[in-house]
Amino acid sequence: MYEQGESSNAIRYANLLMKKFFKYIDTECLGRNITASLSVPKGNVQKKSQEIIVWEDEEISKILGCLDQADSRFRFRLFIVLAYYTGCRIGEILGLTYDDIQDGTLSVNKQHARDLAFDEDGNVKAKYDINVPKTANSIRKIPLHKAVLTELRRHKTWHMKEQLKNGYRTNYLFTTDSGNLYDPSNVRTALNRYYKKIGVEEKNIHAYRHTFGTNLCRQGVPIQTASKLLGHDDISTTAKYYVNVSADEKAQAIEKLAVNLAIPC
């Protein structure tokens, strides 16, 4: 499963089922519990080839421009704005607190984690927690665009009213209407429902991160800076975003280089 690029959650789920089955086999003296010798890969499993899927300019314009038309129960307006303007991973956004935003800067220092476990009745259930980021380089600071700060103020006003109405308190930016941490799949469902309403073809949430990285490269941001903002461990991971830089944009960059260096024609 690991070599085929299956997700960490899928591997852990399969492992949990195997443990439960072989524990029964061992208890009934029908065989040996072989799961004790198995180790589950830690962290997220990366597929061998990852296609860079980005939002086109007209798509993102429509997504951001139609937020005022969203259903009044739509809770992820700020989520979309943060995803587009910061390139943060879904787990990083769901782990954010209001204290993580100070003086116009976002501090990424933790992430939302979803795990699987068995309850007392033997049923598999999801468990949510806040953990340290996936790597040391994931801990970073990102300057925030004024559009994000505007949306943050709007979100906080709405969120405080809901907390008072529903009787819960939280410092997390994104919670359910009872103050609990979100299941990421519910976030995806809500976003896809919004895309369908405004007539935009749905894409994975990671498309926001890919769009952010691609736009940094298109704007001529040094790859070292882009790598820091994205929280990459290896600069070669950042380099993949340059694939989406067009020939015209590359030519314009060369022209700017010549002007900056005052090279005579």
Taken in order of first residue, the domains within the chain and their CATH numbers are 1-49 (no CATH), 54-260 (1.10.443.10)
Looking at residue 167, its pLDDT comes to 96
In angstroms, the CA 27 to CA 148 distance is: 56
Residues 188-195, mean pLDDT to the nearest whole number? 94
114 vs 106: CA distance, rounded Å:
23
DSSP string, 51-70: ------HHHHHHHHHTGGGS
- What is the reported pLDDT for 42? 62
- Mean pLDDT taken over the chain: 84
Residue in the block written with tokens 């820091």: 228
pTM: 0.75
Residue range 172-200: mean pLDDT, rounded: 93
With cut-offs at 50, 70 and 90, classify the pLDDT of residue 253: low
Higher pLDDT, 46 or 212: 212
User: What pairing do the DSSP bridges indicate for beta strands 140-143 and 105-108?
Assistant: antiparallel
The neighbour count for residue 99, using CB atoms within 10 Å, is 8
- What local confidence, expressed as pLDDT, does residue 48 receive? 44
Count of residues making up the chain: 265
Q: What is the pLDDT of residue 5?
A: 65
Give the mean model confidence (pLDDT) for residues 166-182.
94
Model confidence at 262: pLDDT above 60: no
105-108: strand order across its sheet: 101-102, 105-108, 140-143
Q: What's residue 90's pLDDT?
A: 94
| CA atoms within 13 Å, Cβ hemisphere of 85 | 22
